[in-house]
Amino acid sequence: MHIDDHLRQKKIAILGLGLIGGSMALALRGKCAQLLGVDLDPQTVSQALGQGVVDQASVNPQAILPQADGIILAVPVMAILQIIPLLPVWIPDGALVMDLGSTKAQVCKSLETLPEQFSVIGGHPMCGKEVSTLENAEAGLFQNNPFVLVQCTNTSPASRALAEQLVQAIGAKPLWLDAATHDQWVAFTSHFPYLIANALAFSTLQEAAPLASSGWRSTTRLAGSSLQMMHDILSTNTEHVLTAIDQFSEHLAKIRHLLATQNLNELETLLNTGRSKYLNIRNHGETP
């Protein structure tokens, strides 16, 4: 059997049809037996059906989820944590469940409490926009981007294989990590950068707006992210984000001291080290 054939026989349900869930649906069109959708917003459900994003959709999870072989939880982290205990009620026979939450430790711990008829995978696509609605969804959102997968105690080999097929089908690159490593790394590469962007936007003089051009806009872009999403992220990854804040604050204080004392030679050395690290990290993430 070809690697894609297994996925083509599966009915996939996506719970949450916002930016990520909607993009996932668009990327999976034609690659599975049927695409099902659930969203609490009736307007989003109507839009998804009207635009052919999914084949079936409803605001009622119990009307959709029992049909599915695989279920993708594409809602904010706190909503995922509220939904997981309801899954045995909605789907008594079980299914493969993958979450797409931005933090993994608490979510995976909760997924591991599901009955044995469920096989679960933690997931996090490393992509997105600062806007979060179905209108902004696009099939190419995941293309060539890392997609973290986390094995739980109740992850079966079959569900591992299906999860990898899902990731490859949407054009992403599967990367297996443990939950703790994921949460530590993403604190530095995503969650803390949001706080920096927000703080920079807050600190910018309002009267300087005419000069806030491409550099300012690219640096502060993350400040436009959903506050609900970021609240959930920061409250479930607090320890690692605090570590990032402390390390950054210590380094920024060093820069301030060198600038205040006009020790420009040492400041140049420090800034050059930062530039070199930026280039190394950027080049590591570039597609060959």
Question: Can you give the pLDDT at residue 285?
Answer: 62
- Using one digit for the tens of pLDDT, what is the confidence trace for 169-204? 999 999 999 999 999 999 999 999 999 999 999 999
Dist CA 282 CA 288 (whole Å): 12
CATH of domain 3-177: 3.40.50.720
CATH of domain 182-285: 1.10.3660.10
- Residue spans per domain, the chain: 3-177, 182-285
Question: Can you give the pLDDT at residue 130?
Answer: 72
Question: Can you give the pLDDT at residue 286?
Answer: 60
Question: Can you give the pLDDT at residue 288?
Answer: 43
- Using one digit for the tens of pLDDT, what is the confidence trace for 257-284? 999 999 999 999 999 999 999 999 988 8
pTM of the model: 0.91
User: What's the average pLDDT block by block, 10 residues per block, for the chain (288 residues)?
Assistant: 70 95 95 95 94 95 95 96 96 94 97 95 89 85 95 91 93 96 97 97 96 95 90 96 98 98 97 96 71
Is the four-CA dihedral 53, 56, 60, 64 of positive or negative sign?
negative
